[in-house]
Structure formats: structure tokens, C-alpha cells
Structure 1
Amino acid sequence: MIRSFLIGLVAGQRGITPLTSIALATRRRALPVALPLQRLLRNPFAAAGTAALAAAEMAGDKMKSAPDRIVPAGLAVRAITSAYAGAALAPRGQRMLGAAVAMGTALTSSYVGWRLRCAAMRRYGQTATGFVEDAIVLSTGIAVANPGLLARGS
């Protein structure tokens, strides 16, 4: 369940990154196809689409007009993507629990992350804090869904 929890932390900060992480793991065959629509994520166009959406979310986050992550639409996206990713990363037979763990973690960490980001922005600005947050979130999401990528480096 730790992977479901960690992907929930990722989703709390960036709503689309968990889906992109699952798409990468599915395309690499690091995750078995076990959920509806997961086979679609093996398609290069679908996987590229999730990456483009994640990049757009990250770029949009740097704009002054970007809504807070805790607006209802943002929380809804985080709930859906975290539940899907949490289920995909959970052991067989525990997918519902994995979805619930990831969703609860995502919604809770959205508020915590928002408060931390607001505090950091007062000192370092929106763009700098956004890039740091993006680097942490993207690398964590990829590592959680694709642990084999880290093992190859050692």
C-alpha cells in the first residue's frame, strides 16, 4: 500500500502526474494491465497525451491566473487520478483499498501542499517554487510507478 500512499502524495500536488506515471509504467510493462482503460495507456499516442496534459498543468501552475489546487475542480481531478493510480499500484485483491488510500492521501496532501506552497511563494515567488515542486512531484511519481528505473541506476 506504500506505493498507493506515495502516488496520492503526488496527486495532491499535481493532478495529472499520477496518470502519466501509470502510463509510463504500463508502456514499459512494469505494471500489469489490470484496470479498465489501462491497455489504452500502452498506446504511444495515449501515453504522449497524458504527458502533454501533465506538462500543460505544470506550465499553467506558473501563471498568476492559475487556480489554487484546492478548488473543487482541482480536487475532483486529484480524486479521480489518484484513485486510478492507487488501484493500479496496489496488490491484486487490494485495488479498492489502494484507490481509497491514494484518494484520501491526495485530498489531504492537496491542502497541506497548498499551505506550504503559499508560504514558500511569499519568500521565493510563484515560478521558482513551482519548478522545485514540479521536479519533486514528477521524479517521485515516476519512481513510485516505475521502481525498476531506479534499480537500473545502481
Structure 2
Amino acid sequence: MKRSDVVLQAVGLGAVAGMRAAMAPMITSHYLNTHPNPALSRTSLRFIQLPLTAAITKMLSAAELTGDKLPSTANRIEPAQLLARVASGAFVGATIFKANKLSAIDGILIGGASALVASFASFYLRKAADALPFANEPMTGAVEDAVALGTGVAVIKSR
């Protein structure tokens, strides 16, 4: 895959991490578990391709989707939430770059930066959507879930 395509994948999955921190690793792990990448087999990131990792990330993603709908859930732009999203984006960025025999550091920076921007963008978009007279909090969250999942699947399959 061309470097520009790898960058776009890291940006896209980083954006998914900005919307849903656990979803980007879940999508990446599921894809790599069903389509193993030999370039990862001799790296510290090889665990992402394991069936156990795919199962664990699916459970974490389901928990996040449920927890997001609770009124007590912290805003995604609060420091701990933001750090989790940036770390998730950095992780999937590093994974995508290493899978394509490129620098993990570049992937970390691109995926993490994308997650940071997407965290703020999706936070303010969701607040604006919640203010619409026909929208309410659980519905806008469900729409965001669908957008994040659809985006992630489309991006990972663009390999």
C-alpha cells in the first residue's frame, strides 16, 4: 500500500478513536485477526492479531457503547477521557504503519493527532446535535456509534 493510503488509514482510525476510544482497536484487531499481516508477526504488536485480543476489544467496545449513554459519563474532552482517545488513536496508527513496514513513530503521531482533533470535533458536533429540537442524547449517541463503526470498517477495508 502507498504511504499516502497508510496515512489516510491512520487518520481515519484515529478519528474513530476520537469518537469511541475502544472501537478503533476493536476494528483493527478484528480485521487483523481475520486477515493476519506477516509484517506484524515479529513485532511487539503481534498480539493485536490474536483471537483473544479480538474478543477482549469487542467486549471493551460494547462496554464503552453502553457507558457512553449514561448521564454520569465524563465528557470526552476531560483530560482522562482525552488521553484514552489519543492513546487509542496512537496505538492503531502505530499498528497500521508497522503492518505496512513503516515507522511506528509516524503512525503514533498521525493516529494520536487525528484522535485529538476528532475528540473535540465530535464533542462539539454532538452538543450541537443534542440542541436540535428533534434530537436527544441517547439518539445522537447511537448515530455517533453508527458513524464511528461505519467509518472504521470502511477505512480498514480500504487496504
Q: For structure 1, which segment, 137-146 or 120-129, has the greater mean C-alpha deviation from structure 2 after superposition?
A: 137-146
Report deviation, 1:33: 5.0
Q: Give the match for residue 136 of structure 1.
A: 147
TM-score (norm 2): 0.84
| Unpaired stretches in structure 1, ≥5 consecutive residues | 149-154
DSSP 3-state at the match of 2:117: helix
Q: For structure 1, which segment, 85-94 or 64-73, has the greater mean C-alpha deviation from structure 2 after superposition?
A: 85-94
- Once the two structures are superposed, residues 106-138 of structure 1 have per-residue CA deviations (whole angstroms, 9 ceiling, x without a partner) of 111111110110111122111100111000101
Identity %, equivalent residues: 32
Take 1:139 and 1:30, find their aligned partners in 2: how far apart are those partners? Answer: 21
Take 1:116 and 1:62, find their aligned partners in 2: how far apart are those partners? Answer: 16
Q: Give the match for residue 32 of structure 2.
A: 26
Q: Give the match for residue 3 of structure 2.
A: none
DSSP 3-state at the match of 1:147: coil
Take 2:55 and 2:36, find their aligned partners in 1: how far apart are those partners? Answer: 17
The alignment status of 1:103 with 2:106, answered yes or no, reads no
Q: Give the match for residue 137 of structure 2.
A: 126
Q: Which amino acid aligns with 2:79?
A: P
Q: Which amino acid aligns with 1:50?
A: T
Take 2:94 and 2:49, find their aligned partners in 1: how far apart are those partners? Answer: 17
Paired residues in the alignment total 147
Q: Give the match for residue 87 of structure 1.
A: 94
TM-score (norm 1): 0.87
Take 1:85 and 1:31, find their aligned partners in 2: how far apart are those partners? Answer: 14
Report deviation, 1:16: 0.7
Which of the numbers 124, 146, 150 marks the counterpart of 2:157? 146
Take 1:84 and 1:31, find their aligned partners in 2: how far apart are those partners? Answer: 16
- Once the two structures are superposed, residues 61-90 of structure 1 have per-residue CA deviations (whole angstroms, 9 ceiling, x without a partner) of 111111111111111111211111011222
Which of the numbers 38, 49, 52 marks the counterpart of 1:42? 49
Q: Which runs of 4+ in 1 moved over 6 A?
A: none
Report deviation, 1:30: 5.1
DSSP 3-state at the match of 2:131: helix
Query: For residues 69 and 32 of structure 1, do their structure 2 counterparts lie closer, same or farther at Cα, with a shift above 3 Å needed?
Result: farther
Take 1:119 and 1:98, find their aligned partners in 2: how far apart are those partners? Answer: 31
Query: For residues 73 and 95 of structure 1, do their structure 2 counterparts lie closer, same or farther at Cα, with a shift above 3 Å needed?
Result: same
Q: Give the match for residue 113 of structure 1.
A: 122
